[in-house]
Structure 1
Amino acid sequence: MAVPYVKGIMPVMDQRVYVHALLDQFEARYSGAGGQFRYDGQAWFGSDYNKLWLKSEGTVGTDGRFGDGDHEILYDRSISRYFDVQSGVRLDIDHGPTRAWGAIGLQGLVLYFFDAEATFYFSDRGVAGRLTGSYDIFITNRLILQPQAELNFYSNSDPARGVGRGLSDIDTGLRLRYEWHRKIAPYIGITYSNMFDKSMFFRENNGKNNSGVNFTFGIRSWF
């Protein structure tokens, strides 16, 4: 149905409020060294130009402890057709010491529709950075192969949280999902995670090293 025109008032559809949530990773990982559960999700509320964005990720090991907890509350502003700038607060909350960071970054689609994020964090403990990216390769209309990677950097070490200076860790994977329902897609895959330099030393001393190649299966969902 066409939007009626009233003289002097132009119809504006881009200020309508929407809600969207994506549980991108909800998975179990297994290797010869043991298992781990991981989740990674985000949600936003707002218009095409201004949004409140929530992000959360973390892991649960075989000991039942919640680790690598990263939770962000961000204001999101569209700056182009393909990119948004985001700023807000990141809270590292899990079984370890709590840390708070300011956050600013970009999220959007780069060449050939790669989904990419680059975020910088700052606090009295120094600065940090995160780069993430993923890409959907459509094998069929419902069968999709997704390569993904996340890298974390820190200017200073934080032994209590198992974080080393420089390139601290990488988490990457190749997941094959089947969208039997557009909003629910089970998947299998191979994932790889690794710590570097001091991060590996800190994690091994605390008995938390889950690095290596893992067989992975899970479910992806959105609404």
Structure 2
Amino acid sequence: MRIIKPCTYTVLGLALASVTQMTMAQDAHHSMLMSAQHESHSSHDSSHQEIQTAIESSQMEHTAEHAEHAEHAEHANASSIASRAASAQHPVDHKREHGGQIYQATEIDSRWLNNADGRGSLKTEIESRIGTDENKLFIKLHADKAESQDADYAAQLMYSRMISDFWDAQIGARYRVDEHQVTDKEQLDAAVGLHGLAPYFFETDTYLYLGTDKQVSFSLETERDFLLTQKLILKPYLNLDVVLSDDSAYAQKTGLSSVWLGLETRYEINKKLMPFIDVAYSYEKGNQHTAWQAETGSEKQWWYGAGLRLKF
């Protein structure tokens, strides 16, 4: 019995020690879990607080930016109103930027033509214009001198006003000198017409002339450029005159009075110097019988020759 009791005490002591260690381990594990959960909650609360802070900061920045845009828009509106008020008080003239500048251009065209009979004729035309895109002054000079004959002259002064993108209306006067006539060598006609670009790029001049002795006539000149190269250019052209009435001493027959239909081939050395060759077909109806002239018949003939055009 004395031997059994010490053993029993020893076993009981070991069992108590094991239970104590297990209890301590469980307490430590529980403490660790509680600490981890506390840290997790703390971290979550911290992250939530940071997100809330960022949202509040973004809202404050957006509010500040919106206020800045509103202030800028208000300033821009005030500036626009002030600018319109200043423009109303002091209007800006934009004519120089939109066709208001004055320019000048002159073209001289001289050609020598021969017919099938070998008779030659020198034809010279000078056209000068000065003004703006809207208002221009046209000066046209024409001289026609057949071989071994006196020359005929015509000078035309026209005021030109733009009425559309491609057309000008013109009004003015024409002065004529015909050395073949014994009387009424000088004539003055009123003139109205159109100058511009017809469809398909036909440059066109058309005029109605009103003179003394019921002289009423109509003229049409049209031409178009076809580029073979940048310098070699074909230009078909048509010039015609129609006499509507004429009771003068040297009256022409009414109706289609004359037609020139030609083809010009020019070479542009530059934009100022352009030689060319010309082939044309002409029709002349002739004159009426009057006390000062005998009636003449119509003439049809071919012409060929060369010329030079200058632009400056």
For Structure 1 versus Structure 2, the TM-score category normalised by the shorter chain is: 0.7 to 0.9
Cα distance change of structure 1 residues 82 and 145 upon mapping to structure 2, 3 Å threshold: same
Greater strand proportion: 1
Distance 1:211 1:162 in 2: 20
The Cα of 1:156 is off from its aligned counterpart by: 2.6
2:157 matched residue in structure 1: 73
- Counterparts of residues 1-223 of structure 1 (less than 5 Å): 8-13=91-96, 14-23=99-108, 25-33=109-117, 34-67=119-152, 69-95=153-179, 96=181, 97-126=185-214, 127-157=216-246, 161=250, 163-196=252-285, 198-199=286-287, 211-223=300-312
Q: Runs ≥4 in structure 1, deviation > 4 angstroms?
A: 158-162, 204-207
- Give RMSD over aligned pairs: 2.5
Segments of 5+ residues of structure 1 without an aligned counterpart are 1-5
The 8 Å contact of residues 169 and 195 in structure 2, kept in 1 or not, is answered as yes
Distance 2:244 2:256 in 1: 9
The Cα of 1:10 is off from its aligned counterpart by: 4.0
Q: Structure 1-normalised TM-score?
A: 0.86
2:18 matched residue in structure 1: none
CA displacement 1:112-140 (0-9 Å, x = unmatched): 11101111111232211001100001010
The 8 Å contact of residues 116 and 301 in structure 2, kept in 1 or not, is answered as no
Distance 1:173 1:158 in 2: 31
The 8 Å contact of residues 128 and 155 in structure 1, kept in 2 or not, is answered as yes
Any idea what SS the aligned residue of 2:230 has? coil
The Cα of 1:206 is off from its aligned counterpart by: 9.3
Distance 1:162 1:220 in 2: 33
Q: Which protein has the larger Cα radius of gyration, Structure 1 or Structure 2?
A: 2
Distance 1:131 1:140 in 2: 28
Q: Structure 2-normalised TM-score?
A: 0.63
Compare relative contact order (CA 8 Å, sep 6+) and give the higher one, 1 or 2: 1
The 8 Å contact of residues 158 and 164 in structure 1, kept in 2 or not, is answered as no
Count of aligned pairs between the two proteins: 213
Cα distance change of structure 1 residues 137 and 160 upon mapping to structure 2, 3 Å threshold: farther
The Cα of 1:101 is off from its aligned counterpart by: 0.7
CA displacement 1:194-219 (0-9 Å, x = unmatched): 211x43989x9699x98511111001
Bigger drift between 180-189 and 136-145 goes to: 180-189
